[in-house]
Structure 1
Amino acid sequence: MFKRFASLQWKSFFRSSNLGKSLGIKIVMGFFAVYMLISLAVSGGGMYFLLRKIFPDQNPIWIVSQYFIYWILMELMLRYFMQKLPVMDIKPFLTTPVKKSTIAHYILGRSAASIYNLLTLFFIVPFAIVLLFNDYPVLNVLLWVVAIKAIVLSINYINLLVNKNDKVLIAIVSLLVLGYGLDYFGVFSIKEFFAPVFHALYAYPIAVLIPVALALLMYYINYTYLKDKIYLDAKLKAKSVEANTSDLAWTKRFGEMGSFLQLDLKMIWRNKRTKSQVYISLLFVFYGLVFYTQDIYSSMMPMKAFVGIFMTGIFLSNFGQFIPAWDSSYYSMMMSQNIPMRKYLESKVSLITVSIVAMFLLTIPYVYFGWDALAINFGCALYNLGVNIPVILYFGSFNKKRIELDQSPFGNMQGASATQFLVMLPVLVVPIIIFSIFYYIFNLEVAVGVLSVLGIIGFAMKNYLFGLITEQYKKKKYGMIAGFKEKAS
């Protein structure tokens, strides 16, 4: 029966009317997956020698065990965004003599075969092979690999239970940030605390039974949950939704623009793809730690300018580059009404402006690494507000591809076109070039001042620029409406 299910889904893919698009996307994603797997395998093979060089007095297994807890939390967080839940159209099988248990086992089996479960193995197995060549005990190493595979499967099935639960995501991110903070500032060593726990999986082979038992338990819980949900009348029953009494009445203070602002806020909070953009933007506040904590980047001011543009403008890039495709489902209806195009665009600008200001305020703690960091982030925020907002709005007038809001943002190419790649040049590359020229010719203060002045000039020309952009949207209106109606675009 498993073979039959696989055959039916294979035929469903190749008989789809969207075969060309789906196949093209899968080929591109396949190349990325192969590249990632090869990179992980090479990294895993070289990790032993790297750890030996950095920590000559410590066992590489012990060093790896120290970071296991962070790996688990990061994998749970990444799977929340990236891993798609196993989907199967089970309704036709519910009227046939196919056991519900068979369907549940097949869905969970497909989930176990996910590429996300291979990523860790492609890193750990080469690492384990190098350990064997360096005379580590064969039984200990092999059972250690089995234990890690069991932990990976446990994470996989835990993700199926908690996926899309915002509270769980907040808890995971909070634990990750708290643990890293305690370690970094020397308050309490999370690494040292959990290292003996995970090292025991290697030191005591019998300990492999614990992660294996956990994986089986997670499988059974998922199996029981799925089996209880596989009923025909479950599909026929009307879905009960709790009413939300928040009507965002405060947006009415903004007059005509308030209606659009209210729609945008509701759209962002009620749909997977837009809500994910908010979470991703907040997570990228910590992107600066990658650079500010490394000595190699301490003298690379242009790189810090890139970080400043990126952190304060992450929502501008992720959300702004798809304006007005976010409204593609009802864009034709909106354009048939007596709606001022300028007010519509200004509502988008208001959201992006708030995001840039909020992201700058969240990056203020980087002053811990020096006043230069605060000054650069401030100049970059002004540049984003005055220059990058009009630029990204202008490029948005070329968007003609539809976006389905209930889809995950990862591995999803809906709405993407050459425009999304081209807009990154003026938004990210140009300010870095400007900053670098004035920094190397003069100094940091002049470079930050130039970015700030350009942002202020953009503010001064706001009405003129928005007038030009509004006319551009009016010219492109009918082309965008036609493009958004094509669901396979």
Structure 2
Amino acid sequence: MKLKHFLNLEWKQFLRSASFNKSIGIKILMIFFALYFIVSFLIMGIGLYPALKKFFPDQDPLATLNSYLFFYILADMLMRFFLQKLPVMSVKPLLTLPIKRNKVVHYVLRKSAFSFFNWLPLFAFVPFSIMLLINGYPTISVLFWFLAIMVVTLIVNFLNFIIESFSSEKELSFLPIILFAGSLFALNHFEVISFSELIANAFTAIYNNPIFILVPILILIALYIVNFKILKSKLYLDSSLKSKVAVVNASSMEWTKRFGDIAPFMQLDLKLIWRNKRPRSTVFLLIFGLLYGLVFYPNPQFADSPMIFGFVGIFVTGIFLINFGQFIPAWDSGYYKMLMSQNIKYEQYLKSKYTLMILSVIIMFVLSVPYVYFGWKILAAHFAAAFYNIGVNSYVIMFGGSYNRKKIDLNQRAAFNYQGTGAVQWIIGIPLMILPAAIFGLTAFFVNFEVGLLALILCGLTGIILHKKLIKFITQKYLDSKYKMIDAFSQD
């Protein structure tokens, strides 16, 4: 099968996908972000040479840039790990046809060379290279230096795939790359090993003697071969059919019975969270949320910024509410049709999730009490934010869930996984985070801190008083969208 046939199949899959028309908004948003980065890199590339000349007048701009390439490569590696996915096409139907597996694997790997992340550096380094030529740098040397940049870009591309293939099945799979990148940065920062100098010397060597370009090219070839062997070893029909055996720790969860008729639903939600990879990540993220305040509170420049107190308070006490709640009812998308065929009250189904989120807010507030070390104002802000999360954000996020139409694979890794994310998740961030921070910040600024706290608490109390009416209204929204959700979750 020729290359054009593979491309033709992917194009048809893209256009004929059941989710094509439903994802137009997300595609437009992604195009907007792509254009934003392209323009940013282009502006940076045009202004880089004069900027280096201005801020480092006694240094060669090229040598200065080379000394910072280590940090660029490190940032590129992290960005790719979190944002770039393996360019895997639906190859399973092809495995039953007389097509050599080598051709399929070669296509997947070569397709990755046309990734947006590989084209993006061109918009920065092409203008910079042109500026070098205009200012009298040798043409051959500049061309080979630019070629080295692109080869290293491809090296990072294939290195990312190797890291992805070994970490995709692990829980919190982003920790190894964070530790690896952090270790390299620390070793360089404390001058144990000067990676920035090593990288700078390598690019300078290629600039002075183009024959050294063979070294990164050989590394690129080696990484291509390693990727080829890894992907080929996984390209079997039965590789995805093996059942994974896991030991499940059963729990009666007797304590949930005190919640009455919503207890069975709470038990199902707790089991779903603990037994599946992606929802389980919402529990691990509680640690990140709890420590989030340490980014701001020890810093004196945020001491007089009440808006920051409100924002961090909402985030710390509502980390589970936000991460779990935004995918209601998509967590149940795998068996939503079966669930809706049962004789259950939808209001009980929603109340169980509401109760779970409220309990998380209370627990996170209690765990955040040690922040009183930085001042009573912070603890008071967390208390007011917890009220707002309970009385406002819980209903906002459940209302937004009635517009969810994206299916979620519970066993996929959680780190920067955008499956199930639609326009709702982007839009709902405004009332969830920005609105309470603005209410608190503006009130505290124009009146005083205590009135800002009171404004958040009153908003929360209003929602708590209107609980029954709000739950009935939200339940009706879900019932109105019931069959649309069933149809959407049934799509592959």
TM-score, scaled relative to structure 1: 0.78
For 1:325 and 1:396, the matched residues in 2 are separated by 12
1:191-230 correspondence runs (5 A): 193-205=194-206, 206-230=211-235
Kindly tell me: are residues 57 and 397 of structure 1, through their superposed partners in 2, closer, same or farther at Cα, counting changes over 3 Å?
Answer: same
Q: Which residues of structure 1 form unaligned runs of 5+?
A: none
Identity percentage over the alignment?
33
Kindly tell me: are residues 212 and 438 of structure 1, through their superposed partners in 2, closer, same or farther at Cα, counting changes over 3 Å?
Answer: same
For 1:469 and 1:198, the matched residues in 2 are separated by 59
Kindly tell me: are residues 292 and 272 of structure 1, through their superposed partners in 2, closer, same or farther at Cα, counting changes over 3 Å?
Answer: same
User: Secondary structure, in 3 states, of the residue corresponding to 1:329?
Assistant: helix
1:331-480 correspondence runs (5 A): 331-335=336-340, 336-338=342-344, 341-342=347-348, 344-351=350-357, 353-354=359-360, 358=364, 371=375, 374-375=378-379, 378-379=382-383, 381-396=385-400, 398-399=402-403, 401-405=405-409, 414=420, 416-417=422-423, 420=425, 423-444=428-449, 446-447=451-452, 449-450=453-454, 453-454=457-458, 457=461, 462=464, 464-480=465-481
For 2:309 and 2:131, the matched residues in 1 are separated by 38
Which range moved further: 219-228 or 334-343?
A: 334-343
How far off its partner does 1:263 sit? Answer: 3.4
1:116 maps to 117
Which range moved further: 214-223 or 148-157?
A: 148-157
Contact between 2:391 and 2:459, CA under 8 Å: does it hold in 1?
Answer: yes
Q: Specify the code of the residue in structure 1 equivalent to 2:176.
A: A
Contact between 2:274 and 2:280, CA under 8 Å: does it hold in 1?
Answer: yes
1:329 maps to 334
1:59-458 correspondence runs (5 A): 60-61=61-62, 64-65=65-66, 68-163=69-164, 164-166=168-170, 168-176=173-181, 188-189=190-191, 193-205=194-206, 206-232=211-237, 234=238, 238-247=241-250, 249=251, 251-255=253-257, 259-268=264-273, 274=279, 300-303=305-308, 305-310=310-315, 312-335=317-340, 336-338=342-344, 341-342=347-348, 344-351=350-357, 353-354=359-360, 358=364, 371=375, 374-375=378-379, 378-379=382-383, 381-396=385-400, 398-399=402-403, 401-405=405-409, 414=420, 416-417=422-423, 420=425, 423-444=428-449, 446-447=451-452, 449-450=453-454, 453-454=457-458, 457=461
For 1:455 and 1:259, the matched residues in 2 are separated by 31
User: Secondary structure, in 3 states, of the residue corresponding to 1:485?
Assistant: helix
For 2:100 and 2:14, the matched residues in 1 are separated by 24
Kindly tell me: are residues 28 and 282 of structure 1, through their superposed partners in 2, closer, same or farther at Cα, counting changes over 3 Å?
Answer: same
Q: What value does the CA root-mean-square deviation take over the aligned residues? A: 4.3
How far off its partner does 1:170 sit? Answer: 0.9
Kindly tell me: are residues 446 and 465 of structure 1, through their superposed partners in 2, closer, same or farther at Cα, counting changes over 3 Å?
Answer: closer
For 1:349 and 1:95, the matched residues in 2 are separated by 49
Q: Which residues of structure 2 form unaligned runs of 5+?
A: none
Contact between 2:66 and 2:200, CA under 8 Å: does it hold in 1?
Answer: yes
Which range moved further: 161-170 or 260-269?
A: 260-269
Which range moved further: 295-304 or 31-40?
A: 295-304
User: Secondary structure, in 3 states, of the residue corresponding to 1:330?
Assistant: helix
Q: Specify the code of the residue in structure 1 equivalent to 2:407.
A: I
Kindly tell me: are residues 323 and 14 of structure 1, through their superposed partners in 2, closer, same or farther at Cα, counting changes over 3 Å?
Answer: closer
For 1:224 and 1:311, the matched residues in 2 are separated by 44
Which range moved further: 196-205 or 341-350?
A: 341-350
How far off its partner does 1:107 sit? Answer: 0.9
Q: Specify the code of the residue in structure 2 equivalent to 1:142.
A: L
| 1:36-77 Cα deviation digits (max 9, x unpaired) | 212222123223444455555555556555554554444444
How far off its partner does 1:196 sit? Answer: 0.7
Which range moved further: 320-329 or 336-345?
A: 336-345
Kindly tell me: are residues 58 and 157 of structure 1, through their superposed partners in 2, closer, same or farther at Cα, counting changes over 3 Å?
Answer: same
Kindly tell me: are residues 86 and 50 of structure 1, through their superposed partners in 2, closer, same or farther at Cα, counting changes over 3 Å?
Answer: same
For 2:146 and 2:284, the matched residues in 1 are separated by 33
How far off its partner does 1:241 sit? Answer: 0.6
User: Secondary structure, in 3 states, of the residue corresponding to 2:89?
Assistant: coil
For 1:47 and 1:279, the matched residues in 2 are separated by 41
| 1:345-386 Cα deviation digits (max 9, x unpaired) | 34444346536855995897897xx64984586356424433
Contact between 2:151 and 2:216, CA under 8 Å: does it hold in 1?
Answer: yes
Q: Specify the code of the residue in structure 1 equivalent to 2:351.
A: L
TM-score, scaled relative to structure 2: 0.77
Which range moved further: 146-155 or 253-262?
A: 253-262
Contact between 2:87 and 2:111, CA under 8 Å: does it hold in 1?
Answer: yes
Q: Specify the code of the residue in structure 2 equivalent to 1:245.
A: V
